Structure 1
Amino acid sequence: MAQTATTFLYVYGICAAADIGNAERPELQGIGGEPVKISRYNGLAAILTEVDGDAFCQEQIDRQVKDADWLKKHAFHHHETVALFQQQFPLLPMSFCTIFEQDDKLQTLLRNQHDDILRKLDHLRGKQEWNIKMFCSPERLREFVQHKNPSVLSLEREMESMPKGKQFLMKKRLAMLVENELEREKNELWHQVITELEPLISEQLLRQNWGRDMTEITEEMVANCDVLIQIEEADEFFKSIETIEEELKEKGCIFHVTGPWPPYHFSKLAKEHTE
């Protein structure tokens, strides 16, 4: 007698059942080859597909994610599916490879977090996630500090009136001041930016900066931030970024803004998968 294959549930996201209404339901092939479908659970709905439990068990996933081609293909599929539904109604996107071994485990999660999920969905309504990466040229910033920083200029003027012997000793103090002011400028750059953008941002999440080996550009990343903004304020948001970039051009600052993304970083549940 042949064994019956174990079936797991791969979940892309969760929405309010009331939001689905007459939304388009495209015929999509899921990550494991089975159709993507919408399953309703007491006022909520899960966008999901059935997958082979042997191919999508945790041990197998841990092995597969080490394969760059497999990871790129399946992560792209996950994102494209989430983004398609996100365009139609508010959606809490699940992390890549959020899998439930049984339907009742998914139902338990949705039942236990029912009110929290609805609050999150309501909070996300009418909003978009964008990512801001801020870069700065160390050389340009140093040049700015050396030629425009008030403290540095003040000490240089003070040195001009000193005897040559004392000027020599003060050069070390000047070099130290330049380094201190350079560090202060670096630390204040992002604070200045986020202070100007704050009226347009509902939430923000600062992430770890990437090294130059990942960005492959000469400028140094000084901030990597996800933000949640109102859709109707997107134009003003971009104009503000352009204005800030112009203001900070002299310090060698540039911005890379990407999106809109599904709100991956603002929709985490207490637990998105089974053990």
Structure 2
Amino acid sequence: MRSATSIVYAYGVLTNCSDIALDMPRSDLAGLVKNGPLRILPFGNIAAVVCDFVLPNGSDLETLLEDSRSAERLILNHHQVLSYIVSQHTILPLRFGAAFTEDAGVIAALGGRCSELQKALGRIDGALEWGVKTFCDRKLLKQRVRGTGSEISDLESEIAKQGEGKAFFLRRRKERLILEEVEEILEQCVVGTQEQLEPSVIEEALVKLQPPTVHGHEHDMLSNISYLIARGTEDAFMQSLEDLRLAHAPYGLEYQMNGPWPAYSFSDQQLEGGVNDQ
């Protein structure tokens, strides 16, 4: 039987200080392999949060990640650890899969990108990521447009007076007007949403729209945005979002908020020199 292999896995980077406590409950470290407690590896003013993973039977991280179930469990572990730490400290998430053969490799990688990592940490310092997804009931919105547009009402009256031939073309014109009005209202709602939330937002990032098979909502996704919000200002952000819910509900809009998260959307950092880079 081959001997077990140990790797040092890096989750993220934070500002090095003496009061860092990473006593995460072992039950929350849901990794697929035997792992040790979280540790801090410092380099100057920054430090990496790492954990020792023992890979069974001489396996390696790349082989484990080829199995979808194993990869899913390790990704969950990565997210759980970062989410736990961000509840106490500002942490710069690293890309999933930053594994090294020993501590010295992590420290060397920190040294190689120290200035860039410090700058990235400063960008998100004291902030958390919140996501807001906007959905639209277009059927409800079309009904509202049909009942409020004066030009559309005039067309409906004209259609009732015409024969089938001319009425057909008038109905098509009416539907075009309804669609144009719907898109105009949606654009106004999107702009209004951004203006209302802006005072509480440090930075925002557009996230790819999800298909119904992923988001599971009965209506279309209109927008998917991540916001960087300063700690302590979440209540103002949530109140603004609640005001938007009330104002836009008659137009068929619905907002879903999620978070807080580590600043995934505002960081794309990796450490060079890991076992997967060789």
TM-score (norm 1): 0.83
Aligned amino acid, residue 58 of structure 1: E
Tell me if structure 1 keeps the 8 A contact 2:146–2:153: no
Runs of 4+ in 1 over 6 A off after TM superposition: none
1:116 aligns with 2:120: no
What's the counterpart of residue 172 of structure 2?
Answer: 172
Distance in 2, matches of 1:41 and 1:125, equals 18
Distance in 1, matches of 2:89 and 2:24, equals 17
Distance in 2, matches of 1:114 and 1:205, equals 25
Aligned amino acid, residue 109 of structure 1: A
What's the counterpart of residue 86 of structure 2?
Answer: 86
What is the CA distance between 1:238 and its match in structure 2? 0.5
Between 51-60 and 105-114, report the one with greater CA deviation.
51-60
1:154 aligns with 2:158: no
Alignment of 1:138-149 (within 5 A): 138-148=138-148
Deviations 1:188-244 (A, max 9, x none): 543331222122111111112222222333122111111101122211101100111
Between 250-259 and 103-112, report the one with greater CA deviation.
103-112
What is the CA distance between 1:9 and its match in structure 2? 1.6
Tell me if structure 1 keeps the 8 A contact 2:41–2:103: no
Distance in 2, matches of 1:171 and 1:87, equals 56
Tell me if structure 2 keeps the 8 A contact 1:28–1:36: no
Deviations 1:167-189 (A, max 9, x none): 55322211222223334444554
Distance in 2, matches of 1:271 and 1:146, equals 56
- Residue segments in structure 2 that go unaligned for 5+ positions in a row: none
Alignment of 1:84-233 (within 5 A): 84-148=84-148, 150=149, 153-157=150-154, 160=157, 164-165=162-163, 168-233=168-233
Aligned amino acid, residue 239 of structure 2: K
What's the counterpart of residue 243 of structure 2?
Answer: 243
Distance in 2, matches of 1:175 and 1:158, equals 10
The alpha-carbon distance between structure 1 residues 23 and 112, as it changes in their structure 2 partners (threshold 3 A), is: closer
1:263 aligns with 2:267: no
Distance in 2, matches of 1:22 and 1:104, equals 23
Distance in 2, matches of 1:51 and 1:200, equals 40
Match of 1:118, SS state, is helix
Match of 1:47, SS state, is strand
What's the counterpart of residue 46 of structure 1?
Answer: 48
1:60 aligns with 2:77: no
Aligned amino acid, residue 192 of structure 1: G
Distance in 2, matches of 1:113 and 1:180, equals 50
Aligned amino acid, residue 24 of structure 1: A
- Residue segments in structure 1 that go unaligned for 5+ positions in a row: none
The alpha-carbon distance between structure 1 residues 168 and 33, as it changes in their structure 2 partners (threshold 3 A), is: closer
Distance in 2, matches of 1:226 and 1:56, equals 34
Give the number of aligned pairs: 265
What's the counterpart of residue 10 of structure 1?
Answer: 9
What is the CA distance between 1:159 and its match in structure 2? 6.4
The alpha-carbon distance between structure 1 residues 144 and 161, as it changes in their structure 2 partners (threshold 3 A), is: closer
Tell me if structure 2 keeps the 8 A contact 1:159–1:167: no
The alpha-carbon distance between structure 1 residues 6 and 169, as it changes in their structure 2 partners (threshold 3 A), is: closer
Aligned amino acid, residue 9 of structure 1: V
Aligned amino acid, residue 57 of structure 1: L
Distance in 1, matches of 2:271 and 2:110, equals 10
Q: CA RMSD in A?
A: 2.7
Distance in 2, matches of 1:176 and 1:85, equals 52
1:24 aligns with 2:17: no
TM-score (norm 2): 0.82
Distance in 1, matches of 2:251 and 2:162, equals 32
% identical equivalent positions: 21
What is the CA distance between 1:33 and its match in structure 2? 1.9
Distance in 1, matches of 2:136 and 2:59, equals 44
Aligned amino acid, residue 182 of structure 1: V
Distance in 2, matches of 1:80 and 1:60, equals 19
Tell me if structure 1 keeps the 8 A contact 2:13–2:91: yes
What's the counterpart of residue 35 of structure 2?
Answer: 33
